[in-house]
Amino acid sequence: MKMNKRGNSADDRLPKFFKVYLPDESGDDLELPISFNSFLPKSLPENVIVRSIYGNVWKMAFRKCCGDVDKYVMVNGWKRIAKDEDLKNGDFLAFEFDGSRYFNFCIYEGLTMCKRLRRSSVLSKETNVVSDGEEKTQSSDDYTDYDDDDDDDSDETEAVEDDDEEKYLDDPANPYFTMTLNPKRKSQLKIPAHVIKDYGLNFPERITVIDPLVHKYGRMEKNIKIQMNGCIFVKKFGCVIRRNKMKTTDKMICEVKKTGTNVVHTIKVSIIRG
């Protein structure tokens, strides 16, 4: 394994490591190179998201193995990734870490060392691999009845480009989308898939939410949930709707604030009364 620390573009500045796929030596866990330890955050996530550039998404447990030298391992799911991506002996995988919990990778064919291209004509699969010990129960406030085949561009949220709405943004260059209230689906905020894709957004386990009542009640910290179909939600968003007394005739503008590496840290909410 080898690491590349620096490059010329913004993406090249993200830490990377490489792995050769050897099926006879490959188990169900993926061990990170020891030289990569310095690039991991001090507060380690319990789970990480592994994404291929070909459209597949997996969730794996992340563990620290203590010994003479600390090692970090992505647990329970590597065999599934190898199967889903149809890896062959000698294929070369290049992993890129966003600094929070996302590991993106691409594949170089072992025989030719040519980068495997994404097949845009084929619908992507999305897989969620969870360790057996992970808690699977949710409180009623966390539950949202979204089907796996829900349209990404639902009536509740949509990406917009409106000069009048942009006046509510702290920075017009930030991505944003609007939301109208659906009384049956108000416990979580769904992030439109095309907004995530267009801006290459990555999400940590928790983000900050700022609403119009921030000066009275302060900022909120909310957990992020990623469903089996890859949809991303801000959990327990109902309190934002309740404390702002949002009605079905109102419109909410959600401004997404991110770092230079596209890691989302804050969503600022503005409400236009209808």
Domains in the chain, please, with CATH? Answer: 3-108 (2.40.330.10), 157-272 (2.40.330.10)
What parts of the chain have a pLDDT lower than 70?
A: 1-13, 118-163
What does the pLDDT read at residue 17?
92
What does the pLDDT read at residue 132?
33
What does the pLDDT read at residue 118?
57
**What are the C-alpha distances in Å from 135 to residues 101, 132, 138, 230, 241?**
19, 8, 8, 19, 27
What does the pLDDT read at residue 6?
38
pLDDT tens-place string over residues 183-193:
777 788 999 99
Nearest to 116 by CA among 192, 208, 21: 21
What does the pLDDT read at residue 211?
92
What does the pLDDT read at residue 102?
87
pLDDT tens-place string over residues 115-137:
887 543 333 333 333 333 333 33
For residue 102, what are its two tokens?
A: 């996302």
Read off the pTM: 0.47
What does the pLDDT read at residue 163?
52
What does the pLDDT read at residue 13?
63
What does the pLDDT read at residue 142?
37
What does the pLDDT read at residue 109?
87
What does the pLDDT read at residue 99?
81
